[in-house]
Structure 1
Amino acid sequence: MALRALNYLELESRLARSGIGTAADQQRAALERTDVEVVTSPWRGGDPLSGVRSLATGSGFFEDFDVAHCNLVGPGSLAVARYANRNDVPLILHTHVTREDFAESFRGSTTIAPALGRYLKWFYSQADLVLCPSQYTKRVLESYPVDAPIRPMTNGVDVDALEGFETLREEYRDRYDLGGTVVFLVGNVFERKGLTTFCRVAESTPYDFAWFGPYDTGPHASKAVRQWTTNPPENVTFTGWIDDIRGAYGAGDVYLFPTKNENQGIAVLEAMACGKAVVLRDIPVFEEFYTDGHDCIKCETEAEFREAVERLAEDEQLRRRLGENARETAMEHSLDRVGDRLAATYREVRDAKRAGRSIDLDDE
């Protein structure tokens, strides 16, 4: 039976450079491979003002959809949640934000995090189903506790979008004056993602380090971000936003990600899909996806990160072996698999709502 689903990301244009924006883009790309019809705005006409005009003519404020799937937690998503619950529309809320990963993201975020946690507990509990990227995130939500069924589902990786990254190697290495073994990271520059560790490891090694991603040095920036980006070590380059993310994966050799907290980490999967050797902090979320010594190297201390980088820089065979295994791991998160699971989940939630029952997670 045909199904029309809302896949909504409020503030979409502002989040285009974020992991949340990438996750939503990948959901939609995955659903294009299924028979689900997707609408991306809940408002008739595509925006709230058009929705108001539509309401004035008797056509209604909201679009028609069989399932509502929201990817953020702000006022737009809250309006959709209220509409869905008042009109018996199945509601899926996707967890890309937790109290834990909000901390150390920008100035004041750690102070705000406890209050955010209380709001998230209430917000996610409105759902017929909460989706999250990992078993780790599910445990975090259960600890709040969120009063709704919770199902882990990988964000996936868009392998097709990375095709041709190798051809950009020299262009991006020349653009940012990078040479030899390049240690790199992709994503927004936050202390939570291991900024201080990244820079201190760089200070203790002779290799070029590059962080590909935007950063803020204004009033919202944390002290650590302002410190390291305005006065970086001599061998560290902060590129800011780049137009073609494939250039980062082309230019880099060793992906160093000393993050302190993640719900999954899409850029890790992208680096793996490109066959890069990956070095990760040994945190719980990575236990369920990656195996130390097989498709990555896991570390806990700055000394261990430095030793891992030095080993990989000196041992091309090790880099190649880890990269090949990493590519196989990434293929387990293909968008074909994500699309099939997401389409099946939409239908499951719709059918359960019609039958007046909750989602059954006992068999998972």
Structure 2
Amino acid sequence: MRVLNYLELADRLARSGIGTAARHQRTALEPANVEVRTSPWSGDSLTGAARSALRGGGFFDEYDLAHVNVIGPGSLAVARHAKRTDVPLVLHSHVTGEDFAESFRFSNQLAGPLKLYLRWFYSQADLVLAPSRYTKSVLESYPVTAPIETVSNGVDIERLAGHESLRQEYRNRFDLDGVVVFAVGNVFERKGLSTFGRLAQRTDYDFVWFGPYDTGPQASKAVNRWTTDPPDNLTFTGWIDDIRGAYGAGDIYLFPTKNENQGIAVLEAMATGNAVVLRDIPVFEEFFTHGEDCLKASTTAEFESALDRLAANPNLRTRLGENAEETAREHRLERVGERLTSIYRRLVDGAGP
């Protein structure tokens, strides 16, 4: 079985959650009897496809199923080609209007029109994959009319091995000391940036956000505000080459995000045995349990209380971290690969979604 696993703008999205999810899919499929193609074009490029078309050949490569991870013009072209040629089409709903909001300048204004486009785009699929039941319910509210099933984005536990050995190196590099509160990923207001910053102002812990942030005209006011004039105990590292260093250096993973489709970085923090503090939002009810594998909070005061409680109680941090590792193993890539392979075979064999 030859499967197209397509990530439009792969170079630009390599550092994003979508890029990580697509990499997880491909890694998860390696043990399976599935030939994975990453380019839909003949000759593996648009230039090669154009040459093929001029010679009378096909513009698109041949594959038995198309699995598309993004929503742009290249993805739309692949979707329309799949529908014309009766190739089963799987569209992965990494993007919703809700999680697009509060990301970039003007993203709030664009979120409404984006929902209209997504309703039409996802409804073309033979099957839509959603990272969570929460995302599935969001899409059904648009409404997306195609069938929707859930598949975890997974966590690459093997890729995180050895994070402990990088602890002192990364703490020294970013001048971190004591109990370190940290976040991982792109710096957006939607991910709870202002709450993260206010908590740094209210406490004496070292706070650090490992991940890139925009500085150009597309950057939101909140990102500009916090990254240009952070509190003395808050560090924004920008991109780091080895994400294991982030999970090794930190002690409490703080993620006061306002909206997520799942949260790959949360699973990574759990897989590395860190204590985790999350905002109490619906998507996290599906995967994580307050007091067992994490602590949850809703207000700034509740977040501060959770941080103080964990900072004062190393045994609690250890217990939550050990339970969190068990939770992360439920999302290991082996399970993701088995799920995807089953879905692909069902669709290719014509058994329906």
Tell me whether the two structures share a fold, i.e. TM-score over 0.5. yes
Give the Cα separation in 2 of the matches to 1:81 and 1:135.
24
1:217 is paired with a residue whose SS is: coil
How many residues get paired? 353
Match of 1:203 among 191, 201, 204: 201
Structure 1 residue 349, shift from structure 2 partner: 1.2
Q: Is 2:99 aligned against 1:98?
A: no
Q: State the match for 1:301 in structure 2.
A: 299
Structure 1 residue 58, shift from structure 2 partner: 2.6
Superposed counterparts of 1:231-310, under 5 Å: 231-310=229-308
Q: State the match for 1:131 in structure 2.
A: 129
Q: State the match for 2:329 in structure 1.
A: 331
Amino acid at match of 2:98: E
Q: State the match for 1:169 in structure 2.
A: 167
Give the Cα separation in 2 of the matches to 1:192 and 1:33.
36
1:285-329 deviations in Å (ceiling 9; x for gaps): 000100000000000000000010111111000000000000000
Structure 1 residue 47, shift from structure 2 partner: 1.1
Q: CA RMSD of the aligned region, Å?
A: 0.7
1:173-200 deviations in Å (ceiling 9; x for gaps): 0000001100000000000000000010
Q: Is 2:180 aligned against 1:182?
A: yes
Q: State the match for 2:155 in structure 1.
A: 157
2:140 is paired with a residue whose SS is: helix
Q: Is 2:20 aligned against 1:22?
A: yes
Structure 1 residue 345, shift from structure 2 partner: 0.5
1:199-235 deviations in Å (ceiling 9; x for gaps): 1011111110000000012100000000000000110
Superposed counterparts of 1:33-112, under 5 Å: 33-112=31-110
Q: Which runs of 4+ in 1 moved over 2 A?
A: none
Amino acid at match of 1:252: G
2:317 is paired with a residue whose SS is: helix
Q: State the match for 1:362 in structure 2.
A: none
Give the Cα separation in 1 of the matches to 2:120 and 2:135.
16
1:33 is paired with a residue whose SS is: coil
2:338 is paired with a residue whose SS is: helix
Give the Cα separation in 1 of the matches to 2:180 and 2:108.
32
Q: State the match for 1:228 in structure 2.
A: 226
Amino acid at match of 1:20: I
Give the Cα separation in 2 of the matches to 1:141 and 1:258.
23
1:14 is paired with a residue whose SS is: helix
Of residues 44-53 and 293-302 in structure 1, the stretch that sits farther from structure 2 once superposed is 44-53
TM-score (ref. length: structure 1): 0.96
2:11 is paired with a residue whose SS is: coil
2:50 is paired with a residue whose SS is: helix
Point out where structure 1 has 5 or more consecutive residues left out of the alignment. 360-364
Match of 2:317 among 296, 316, 319: 319
